[in-house]
């Protein structure tokens, strides 16, 4: 089991040169995470890559699979071994390794601006599987630019399949998606939405029908359907609910 857990940290530098005294500054990080957890429906973690555990776990029962925050914090990455399907554990190993290899090649000044996100299942305490969206971004680096602490947010995924791995960087016009078939990252332009498409998404969030959206925007109902079709294509979504979730995760609306 210990060897399996170490695969979550491959190929991270095993010696980050973090002193025990360095941890004295971290209460402010925990306090910030606690405040954020009170204002979001997402589950929040602070991952410590030096000690290979969780520094903080928020009390969100939906994503803790029957465990308490303290139990998850003490279990560390063994928590995932307990609640993630075995075949998807192997996928997580691959994502972690590919993600950190990509990350290590980036200039130090760019690393804090990067985020990786992907989808996988967890098994709830009642045995049901939930597809979750897992988003991770650095908080602190060591002096060499290696990741020390990262903030992880977990929410229900708007998608229907696992994977969907992308790396984004603040203020960049492109992002990188991971191909499991090719075992490589592909650079792609960021998705952009026309103002009319944003209007339709925002009205859809409020629960308006196609007819109601058409009336509010002074356009024909067939035009609404046309824009929705384009939205589904751009966002790789199958319906408006999925499109809203994906657009929200990508901060497009």
Which among 196, 192, 253 has a CA at the least distance from the CA of 223? Answer: 196
Q: Report the alpha-carbon distance of residue 34 to residue 133 in Å, rounded.
A: 20
Structural contact between residues 162 and 131, judged by C-beta atoms closer than 8 angstroms? yes
Structural contact between residues 48 and 55, judged by C-beta atoms closer than 8 angstroms? yes
Structure confidence at residue 11 (pLDDT): 85
Structure tokens at 107: 């200039």
Structure confidence at residue 1 (pLDDT): 63
Which among 123, 112, 119 has a CA at the least distance from the CA of 79? Answer: 123
* Three-point CA angle 72, 74, 75, nearest 5°: 65
Q: Report the alpha-carbon distance of residue 214 to residue 54 in Å, rounded.
A: 48
Q: Mean pLDDT of residues grouped by 10 in the chain (253 residues)?
A: 83 88 93 95 96 96 94 95 95 96 93 97 93 96 94 94 96 95 95 94 94 94 95 91 89 86
Q: Give the count of alpha carbons within 13 A of 140, CB side only.
A: 19
Which among 37, 44, 123 has a CA at the least distance from the CA of 80? Answer: 123
Structure confidence at residue 180 (pLDDT): 97
Structure pTM? 0.89
Which among 201, 172, 203, 204 has a CA at the least distance from the CA of 189? Answer: 172
Q: Collapsing DSSP states into helix, strand and coil, what is residue 140?
A: strand
* Three-point CA angle 101, 103, 104, nearest 5°: 65
């Amino acid at each position: 089991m210990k060897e399996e857990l170490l695969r979550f940290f491959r190929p991270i530098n095993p010696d980050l040169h973090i002193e025990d005294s360095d941890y004295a500054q971290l209460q402010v990080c925990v306090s910030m995470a606690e405040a954020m957890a009170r204002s979001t429906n997402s589950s929040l973690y602070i991952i410590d890559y030096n000690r290979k555990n969780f520094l903080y776990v928020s009390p969100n029962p939906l994503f803790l699979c029957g465990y308490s925050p303290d139990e998850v914090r003490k279990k560390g990455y063994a928590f995932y071994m307990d609640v993630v399907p075995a075949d998807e554990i192997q996928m997580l190993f691959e994502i972690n390794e590919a993600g950190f290899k990509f990350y290590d090649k980036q200039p130090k000044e760019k690393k804090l601006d990067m985020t990786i996100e992907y989808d996988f299942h967890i098994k709830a305490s009642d045995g049901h599987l939930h597809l979750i969206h897992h988003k991770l971004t650095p908080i602190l680096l060591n002096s060499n630019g290696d990741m020390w602490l990262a903030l992880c947010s977990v929410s229900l995924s708007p998608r229907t399949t696992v994977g969907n791995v992308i790396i984004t960087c603040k203020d960049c016009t492109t992002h990188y998606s991971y191909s499991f078939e090719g075992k490589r990252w592909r650079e792609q332009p960021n998705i952009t939405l026309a103002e009319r498409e944003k209007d339709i998404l925002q009205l859809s969030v409020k629960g308006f029908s196609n007819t109601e959206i058409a009336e509010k925007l002074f356009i024909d109902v067939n035009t609404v359907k046309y824009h929705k079709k384009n939205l589904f294509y751009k966002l790789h979504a199958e319906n408006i609910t999925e499109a809203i979730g994906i657009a929200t995760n990508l901060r497009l609306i």
